[in-house]
Amino acid sequence: MKKTIILANGQFPRRKEALQGLLQAETLICCDGAYNKLVESRLFSRATQLPQVVVIGDGDSLNQIEPPFPTEFISRFTDQETNDLTKAVKYALSLGVERLIILGATGLREDHTLGNISLLACYSQMLTASGKPLAVRMYTDYGFFTPISETVTLPSFARQQVSLFSLDEGLKISTEGLRYPMNGRQLHLWWEASLNEALGDSFTITLDGEGTLLVYQTHDAK
């Protein structure tokens, strides 16, 4: 399966690993105005191999510039009841993608940041061509978000900072491998399970009930 990355129109990635990911992508889907930032970054100026670059949106945020590398512009996703990030995810699914990385979806305007993070719950419920839920993860310069809706064990490292955000109050959450364990706890406010810490190379989250939990893990130890 091709490595597919969506670049949203938030803060352009600065972390070295994220920039390497953009260079190594086979398909790079840009959300409208994010294409401007990609061009301005000159990230591909010395690249020996370019990804397939696709721009999704109505073009209202694009600068009138000559594309400096091969680019396909797609504007058939015209639903005004959703945003360009969701249009990009739907396009990725149309390509047969089963795993998806999102970059550049945070920073700048806080309302866009909150909206994009919350949308991970919706994306993780979308079905791929094989009938499996989409495996999606959102990376920032500081950490990454993983939406889960079932019991999972996630890789970690000692002193990695971990925060849990429940989008469904009825969901009961238990954890093992975190400094501050939870046992069947229901979360009502977003701050309640933030600023936890991994004790070792993995931790387990057990979910009781239906709903989605967003797991945030930092790149670096505290």
Domains of the chain: 4-141 (3.40.50.10240), 145-221 (3.40.50.10240)
Q: What are phi and psi of 32, to 5 degrees?
A: 40, -105
Query: Which of 77 and 88 is assigned the larger pLDDT?
Result: 88
Banded model confidence at residue 152, pLDDT cuts 50, 70, 90: very high
pLDDT tier for residue 99 given thresholds of 50, 70 and 90: very high
Using an 8 Å Cβ cutoff, are 4 and 92 in contact? yes
* pLDDT band, very low/low/confident/very high, at 189 (cuts 50, 70, 90): very high
Average pLDDT estimate for 145-168 = 97
Q: What is the mean pLDDT of residues 199-206?
A: 98
Say if CB 112 and CB 10 are below 8 A apart: yes
Nearest to 29 by CA among 94, 122, 111: 94
Q: Find the Cα–Cα–Cα–Cα dihedral 115, 120, 126, 132, rounded to 10°.
A: 180
Extended strands (E) in the chain: 4-7, 27-31, 52-56, 71-74, 99-103, 135-139, 143-148, 152-155, 160-166, 172-176, 185-186, 193-197, 202-208, 213-221
Work out whether strand 71-74 and strand 52-56 pair parallel, antiparallel, or are unpaired.
parallel
pLDDT of residue 65: 75
Q: What one-character DSSP code corresponds to residue 54?
A: E
Q: Is the pLDDT of residue 4 over 90?
A: yes
Q: What is the pLDDT of residue 46?
A: 85
Q: What per-residue confidence (pLDDT) applies to 79?
A: 67
**Average pLDDT over all residues of the chain:** 93
Q: Give the pLDDT mean for 181-186.
A: 97
Phi-psi region of 59 (alpha: psi -120 to 50; beta: other; left: phi over 0): left
At 66 the pLDDT is 82
Specify the pLDDT at position 218.
98
